[in-house]
Amino acid sequence: MSAKTMKKSRAMDHVRLVLGIFATLIFIFPIIWMVMTGFKTGNQAFSNSTSFFFTPTLDNYREVFFESDFKSAVVTSFRAVSISVVLTVLLASGIAYPMARFPSKRLDGLASWIISLRIVPPIVTIIPLFLLLKNVNLTGSIWSLVLVYTFMNIPLAVWLLRGFFKEVPREIEEAAELDGLDSKRIFFKIVLPLSAPGVVATALLSFVFAWNDFLFANILSGATTRTATVGLTEFVTPVGTAWTTIMAAGTIVVIPVWIAALFAQKYLVRGLTMGSVK
């Protein structure tokens, strides 16, 4: 490679770096602004001059945790989402594993049909789901959210796990069979541990999709079973909107997803790239 070509390549790398930093700042600036506003007073937030340097206050967080019901909404979200993620991974694994180990054109078509269910807009299904859950007296219950989140995430989870299970060498399972392990023990003791990055990536994506849901939670939850996203509307009243308090509550809603991504990022990257290189 000539010196001119190398210089041009380095220049392009610098351009890509600058563009990448610029694009990242555009995406994360609203989140940074939300976090900053959560630590401001009303006068600071709505002053004519925008200031990035101010004296932070915890009054908004004190109001969120001790003067409202938002804390119970966060607990409800954790309960509903955690249960649904466990059910999603278990049920999707039971569907994806046979599809990965016994491939056929019919199962490939079934896999395509399953992932197509995820393409259906959620708002199309909200009325029949509401009527169905109402007939079995589950509306207003946390279990209505668990069921909806589970079946909302199963199509994507099946599609992902099917690819991850395919990456586990069949020879390892055959060796385990020779050692006397039955199918159930092979799956839980060998296949799942070897597919851990993919399982963690699937669980994380299911957690994010369920945690961020507003439509189903707003329609199906009750006064005592509101999720964190629905709880944000508590600060919008006929008198006015407590913007600084909403920003503090919004920051609290973002934190669990950020922490989960932080601790699981190595699994997420490895899991989502399994099978990309042959």
pLDDT at position 177, please? 81
pLDDT at position 196, please? 82
pLDDT at position 84, please? 95
Q: For residue 170, is pLDDT > 90? A: no
pLDDT at position 277, please? 45
Confidence of residue 186 (pLDDT cuts 50, 70, 90): confident
Average pLDDT, the chain: 83
Confidence of residue 82 (pLDDT cuts 50, 70, 90): very high
Confidence of residue 272 (pLDDT cuts 50, 70, 90): low
Cα distance between residue 267 and residue 201, in whole Å = 6
Confidence of residue 171 (pLDDT cuts 50, 70, 90): confident
Confidence of residue 149 (pLDDT cuts 50, 70, 90): very high
Q: For residue 112, is pLDDT > 60? A: yes
What CATH number does domain 70-273 carry, 1.10.3720.10, 1.20.59.10, 2.60.120.10, 3.40.50.300? 1.10.3720.10
Cα distance between residue 274 and residue 266, in whole Å = 12
The rounded percent of the chain whose pLDDT value lies above 90 is 11
pLDDT winner (highest mean) among 83-97, 120-134, 179-193, 221-235: 83-97
pLDDT at position 1, please? 54
Q: For residue 87, is pLDDT > 90? A: yes
What average pLDDT does this structure show over 76-91? 93
- Residues in CB range of 84: below 8 A, 6 or more apart: 145, 146, 147, 149, 150, 153, 206, 210
pLDDT at position 81, please? 94
Cα distance between residue 262 and residue 57, in whole Å = 26
What average pLDDT does this structure show over 31-60? 80
Report how far apart the first and last C-alpha atoms of the chain are (Å, whole number).
Answer: 29
Q: For residue 121, is pLDDT > 60? A: yes
Distance of CA 71 to the CA centre of its chain: 20
- Residues in CB range of 189: below 8 A, 6 or more apart: 176, 181
Confidence of residue 146 (pLDDT cuts 50, 70, 90): very high
pLDDT at position 278, please? 44
**Domain boundaries of the chain, sorted by first residue:** 3-38, 70-273
pLDDT at position 49, please? 66
pLDDT at position 159, please? 84
Between CA 103 and CA 110, with CA 109 as vertex, the angle to 5 degrees is: 85
R_g of the chain, CA atoms, integer Å: 24
pLDDT at position 276, please? 47
What average pLDDT does this structure show over 70-77? 90
Which SS3 state, helix, strand or coil, does residue 152 take?
helix
Q: Which residue has the higher pLDDT, 11 or 244?
A: 244
- Three-state SS string across 169-198, please? CHHHHHHHHHCCCCHHHHHHHHHHHHCHHH
What average pLDDT does this structure show over 23-47? 84
